[in-house]
Structure 1
Amino acid sequence: MIPAVSLSPGALARQGFPGGMKTLARHVFPWLSALVMLLLSSAAFAHGVAGDDKAFIENSTGARILPFVYLGAKHMVTGYDHLLFLFGVIFFLYRMREVGIYVTLFAVGHSVTLLYGVLSGTHVNPYLVDAIIGLSVVYKGLDNLGAFQRFFGVQPNTKAAVLIFGFFHGFGLATKLQEFTLSGDGLVTNILAFNVGVELGQLIALGGILIAISFWRRTPAFQRQAFAANAVLMTAGFVLIGHQLAGYFTS
């Protein structure tokens, strides 16, 4: 977590923004504009399961381990909401041991509710779950900016937060699978295989993110850009929340 940053022009200058708010806006606005346009595109919000994949899942009978592993990995690699949260989680983690702990906590939470939601048939409103997933992105952006300690004088338990939000991310995927007509023949095996694929996809995506961040950290501009990146991350979470709540109230 980086030190808390005051929004006064003088403090921003000391943090690497010599032009104060104007310089900060110049750093944040291009990133924010591109991300918001991406999130507002219809393809970005169709983050469930693609039409062809849906047809395969609904027509599958019996154990189909490898195809379901592939579909699970594909979902995670293309799941922008999961990746935004994980990007925030590992943003300021420098030790592989810490990365492993946090990623494991998220994987445990994600796996438990994914399997429970599908196999037990427990239904939750998908819009509300996805709104909470958006909230997880907001939380991580705020946490990385030191906002909780600065404004409220408390620091949430980051490990517990990652585990709890992992539960909601798993339920988010479960709600997508619950929309399908799934054959009972081989269901448990296929859902387990899908979950394995999700975790493999998570490792692949995190590997790419870690490589990119490791190079980024070596640049002189990292500390300055880190503030902007987490401000964009937080804003992206608000966009996700707004979209899902709009869907909830209009559906």
Structure 2
Amino acid sequence: MVRPALSLPTGILRWAGWAVALLVIVALRSAAHAHGVGEDDRAFIEGAAGMAIGPYMYLGAKHMVTGYDHLLFLVGVIFFLYRLKDVGTYVTLFAIGHSTTLLLGVLLDIRANPYIVDAIIGLSVVYKALDNLDGFRTLFGRAPNPKAAVLVFGFFHGFGLATKLQDLTLSKEGMVPNLVSFNVGVELGQFMALGAILILMNLWRATDSFRRSAIAANAALMCAGLVLVGYQLTGYVTQA
């Protein structure tokens, strides 16, 4: 991965400040819905009986496209990936991770506190931003294996999806095909979101501002991840 030199001119610091503020606002506004499913979606899932492949695929895609924590992590993962082959490798590892724990978490009824799981998901954003800044080598002299880290954090992202479904009363009839359909929808949503992110990233990379702003952008990404962690830990401490 090609990373720019660590220097922060005044203009970039100003840009970073605005970016951090925007990300904080978005994260805080979105976090209010982090542990729930929309009322219409909840009513459908809890009222459905038997197989509902199309609707579950739609719900899975919708959750991924609107999942700010997943999207922030994906942005960090592909930030310095320039070859489609590399993008495909990392996204495949992430998909394997979250597909595994999404399905097993629900089918085997493996439970954990959703606030803790989502706090770890927030940490995944912090990790990727710090890795993009080469912070691990600077601080510790070595960096974690990036592919292994994406796979491991993929497990937590999938478990986060599982905790949302575990809050609902799912029909036992047709549960397996419905879960598989939901997971397929998640993958389709990820593909759509990733396509849009890659188009925007490539347009940005073609400008002179990319190398000047890359450090500030990852600093803002790390701050957004820390906000998510703080919000989830606050929810854990204050939950009834």
Q: TM-score, normalised by structure 1?
A: 0.92
Superposition map of 1:72-221 within 5 A:
72-221=60-209
The runs of at least 4 consecutive aligned structure 1 residues that moved more than 6 Å come to none
Question: How many angstroms apart in 2 are the aligned matches of 1:103 and 1:45?
Answer: 27
Q: Determine whether 1:223 maps to 2:223.
A: no
Query: CA 1:243–1:44 in structure 2 vs 1: closer, same or farther (change >3 Å)?
Result: closer
The answer on 1:51 being equivalent to 2:36 is no
Q: Specify the alignment match of 1:237 in structure 2.
A: 225
SS in 2 for 1:122: coil
The RMSD of aligned alpha carbons is: 1.2
Rg larger for: 1
Deviation per CA, 1:92-140: give whole Å up to 9, x if none. Answer: 1000000000000000000000000111111111000000000000000
Partners of 1:67 and 1:156 lie apart in 2 by 39
Does the 8 A contact of 1:4 with 1:146 survive in 2?
no
**Structure 2 unaligned spans of 5+:** none
Moved more, 132-141 or 44-53: 44-53
Q: Distance in 1 between matches of 2:229 and 2:157?
A: 14
1:130-177: CA deviations, max 9, x gaps? 000000000000000010111110021000000000000000010010
How many residues in Structure 1 have an aligned counterpart in Structure 2? 238
TM-score after normalising by structure 2: 0.96
Secondary structure in 1 matching 2:201: helix
Give distance in 1, aligned partners of 2:54 and 2:92: 23
Higher relative contact order (CA 8 A, sep 6+): 2
Contact kept in structure 2, 1:133 and 1:169, CA below 8 Å: yes
Gap regions ≥5 residues in structure 1: 7-11
Identity %: 61
Residues 2 and 146 in structure 1, CA contact (< 8 A), matched pair in contact too:
no
Q: Which amino acid aligns with 2:33?
A: A
Q: What amino acid sits opposite 2:15 in the alignment?
A: H
